[in-house]
Amino acid sequence: MSRAEIMATVDEAVAGIEDGSTVLVGGFGFAGMPFDLIDGLIRQGARDLTIVSNNAGNGEVGLAALLKAGRVRKVVCSFPRQSDSYVFDELYRAGKIELEVVPQGNLAERMRAAGAGIGAFFCPTGVGTPLAEGKETRTIDGRDYVLEYPIKGDVALIGAYRADGMGNLVYRKTARNFGPVMATAATRTIAQVTEWRRTYNRPIGLWTTHDPQALEALALVRSSGAGAAAISNSNGSVASVLAAVGLGSQLDFVVDSGEVGVGKPNPRIFELALARAGVAPSEAAYIGDFYSIDVRGATAAGLRAVLLDPGGFWGARDCAKAPDLLSAVRLALA
């Protein structure tokens, strides 16, 4: 079950980062660097941080600005020096910051191992170099390997292009870089995104207002990050019905036959609901009762139908049945 939250401000998002935290910071140079989150972390004031990233900052923005503010105790990276890494260079030469150099592939794999629950792994990279000093080595099938341990983060700060209410992220091209492995390796992931939209990803329709499980089912929908609406043939009376059972204020919207001019099974009523939610048919499901009109209308509009099962009609494609409302919601969210 998703525990994603949509934060109103950057400062609110980074407020819980504590002194001494290990922070995984996405980005390959400027590509995918979460600049706004880093600026928020500077304002927030956490100190004595261990930063894990591909490099040690560029110029005086982003990660370099965090270093310049004196908030970082140690940097773990694969590429600490380049022409514009002068902030890190000055701090390192002055003995004001620690450095652990990790080969780039090892860096990614150590974070992936943390996310996958792997305790340690043997890798050939770095064998016979200063990077392997003090580490256990082993010969396997005639080849030497060095033992590497996972890199776990208290927090990951990553940049992505799009997010939804379930916490799913979409990246643009090379800005993806370390984002996915960092997200799994950290206890908490904070993503800076360009575009966000609510996920109506199952369900979109809850025409079950008289069911005693309706409020509990709606709470289950909400906890998953999905949206919920009512699709009704009541020709204008649905508002009073919803209010009577305590659902009116908890749904995102209602689509009623009175405003469409047609009712179920006409797919237009379902298509209007999809348009109002701003999602494609493949991103939503309809939860309803056993009548065949629900199946015909929902599937004609491209939705998957998940219906309660009193032993009725099950002929339509993409129709799944459930014994009760909560089971129907779980099927829709699966």
Q: What is the pTM of this model?
A: 0.64
Q: What is the pLDDT along the chain (334 residues), one digit of tens a residue?
A: 346 788 889 999 999 999 999 999 999 989 999 999 999 999 999 999 999 999 999 999 999 999 999 999 999 999 998 889 999 999 999 999 999 999 999 999 999 999 999 999 999 999 999 999 999 999 999 999 999 999 999 999 999 998 876 688 899 999 999 999 999 999 999 999 988 765 444 445 555 556 677 778 888 877 777 788 888 777 777 777 777 667 777 787 888 888 878 877 788 888 888 888 887 887 888 887 756 667 778 888 888 777 776 555 444 555 677 777 778 778 777 7
pLDDT at position 126 is 93
List of long-range contacts for 255-261, beta carbons under 8 Å, 24+ apart: 255/229, 255/230, 255/231, 256/232, 257/232, 257/233, 258/234
pLDDT at position 53 is 97
Identify the bridge partners of residue 122 per DSSP, sorted by sequence position: 147
DSSP 289-325: -S-HHHHHHHHHTTPEEEEE-SS----STTEEEESSH
Domains of the chain: 10-102+151-197 (3.40.1080.10), 205-333 (3.40.50.1000)
Can you point out the beta strands (E) in 224-281? Answer: 229-232, 253-256
